[in-house]
Amino acid sequence: AQKVTQAQTEISVVEKEDVTLDCVYETRDTTYYLFWYKQPPSGELVFLIRRNSFDEQNEISGRYSWNFQKSTSSFNFTITASQVVDSAVYFCALSEARQAGTALIFGKGTTLSVSS
Amino acid sequence: DAGVTQSPTHLIKTRGQHVTLRCSPISGHKSVSWYQQVLGQGPQFIFQYYEKEERGRGNFPDRFSARQFPNYSSELNVNALLLGDSALYLCASSLPPNLYSNTGELFFGEGSRLTVL
């Protein structure tokens, strides 16, 4: 069965600290997609990244970076030099490409609080 | 360009009532998905519609139904409301699934917050 685990419920950091959000997933498929979404207080889920199971290259986008390791079924997200605007709930999600539709399986989310 | 729009943004119902939530996708997007997000949890998949046909259904009772209209907008209906249906209902739109992947980027609206008393 598919499952996404975000073990960290809440993280609090001070501005300019680096922070890593952990994500561990379970799937029987060899082809799947992993996502990170950000949910600010407004409620809208904002897409951050999609990664397919055949692409294990790490990715960096500005202050954001992602570390995908199939060997440990992990897809961790690091924010470098965090800012107050990074405060939000972050969700990791999984989708199996063979399924009809685009159903995402979300983790329970990690609430990140960045204080000034 | 307008993003995904949902209405109403907030509503309060009592147990046993019926509710209809509406969603307008991003222009050009033909696929709409619905998710339920209970407080403190991640979103859970309810339905996906593409070209007015149901393409996927999550583990929700038959009290939940949806449809997609010719203009690709969508409605989510919930009958016989229970207290446990209180949640943020999120609509997402996406470009049609392509031949090699059913999974594209989903663009979410801000949701309809339903409170059942």
B111, two tokens: 């949701």
Mutate to test the interface with A, among B10, B48, B103 (most CBs of A within 10 A): B103
CA distance linking residue B48 with residue B63, whole number of Å: 16
Asked if residue B96 has pLDDT above 50, the reply is yes
Residues A97-115: pLDDT tens digits?
A: 655 456 889 999 999 999 9
Inter-chain CB pairs, A–B, below 8 Å: 79
pLDDT at B39: 93
Mean pLDDT of B64-69: 97
Asked if residue A95 has pLDDT above 50, the reply is yes
Cβ of A101 and B113 within 8 Å? no
Residues A7-54: pLDDT tens digits?
A: 999 999 999 999 999 999 999 888 888 999 999 988 889 989 888 888
Task: Give me chain B's average pLDDT, please.
Answer: 90
Give contacts of A52 with chain B, Cβ < 8 Å: 101
pLDDT at A60: 84
pLDDT at B106: 84
CA distance linking residue A44 with residue B108, whole number of Å: 6
**How far are the Cα atoms of A2, A22, A100, B109 from residue B67, in angstroms, in the given order?**
27, 36, 17, 17
Asked if residue B97 has pLDDT above 80, the reply is no
pLDDT at A2: 87
For B89, nearest residue in chain A (alpha carbons): A43
pLDDT at A52: 85
Residues B47-63: pLDDT tens digits?
A: 989 888 888 899 999 99
Q: Is A100 left (phi over 0), alpha (psi -120 to 50) or beta?
A: beta
pLDDT at A115: 96
Residue of B45, B102, B110 lying closest to A100 (CB–CB) = B102
pLDDT at B104: 62
Q: Are the C-beta atoms of A25 and A70 separated by less than 8 Å?
A: no
Check residues B98 and A20 and name the one with the higher pLDDT.
A20
Give contacts of B94 with chain A, Cβ < 8 Å: 102
pLDDT at B9: 96
Asked if residue B100 has pLDDT above 50, the reply is no
B79, two tokens: 């009958």
